[in-house]
Amino acid sequence: MKGNLSYENSRMVDAPAPDVYEIRPRKERDGFDLISNRLPGGPIPYAGPDAVRNAIAYAKYYSWSRSRQAIVRVLNHSEALVEDYKPLGRHTPTLSQ
């Protein structure tokens, strides 16, 4: 007798892949864009003194609301990685000394 295939398959399902976001400075140097293929309307612009913090918060919230974890990469004007926010609160600053 064969086992219940739907039960056996459900036990092998992995957790959903995390959403990956990048925060890049705008070319006009007047703020930042939150970029991901998960954003239905394309990049989201942010400006002001809390632009990066607000973009990170939105990425984490948007992923959480879809039951996923977010990986957020903050890049500078030369597209070098400045900071990396990973699931489970692991924050990795990569600022050069």
Regarding predicted confidence, which is higher, 59 or 29? 59
**8-state DSSP, 17:** P
The contacts of residue 40 (CB under 8 Å, 6+ apart) are none
Tally of residues, the chain: 97
| pLDDT above 90 as % of the chain | 39
Residue 97 has pLDDT above 50, yes or no: no
For residues 20 and 36, the answer to whether their CB atoms sit within 8 Å is: yes
For residues 59 and 36, the answer to whether their CB atoms sit within 8 Å is: yes
Residue 12 has pLDDT above 60, yes or no: no
Question: Collapsing DSSP states into helix, strand and coil, what is residue 1?
Answer: coil
Question: Collapsing DSSP states into helix, strand and coil, what is residue 8?
Answer: helix
The contacts of residue 3 (CB under 8 Å, 6+ apart) are none
Per-residue pLDDT, 24? 95
Rounded to whole angstroms, how far apart are CA atoms 80 and 88?
23
> Domain segments of the chain: what residues?
16-93
Residue 30 has pLDDT above 70, yes or no: yes
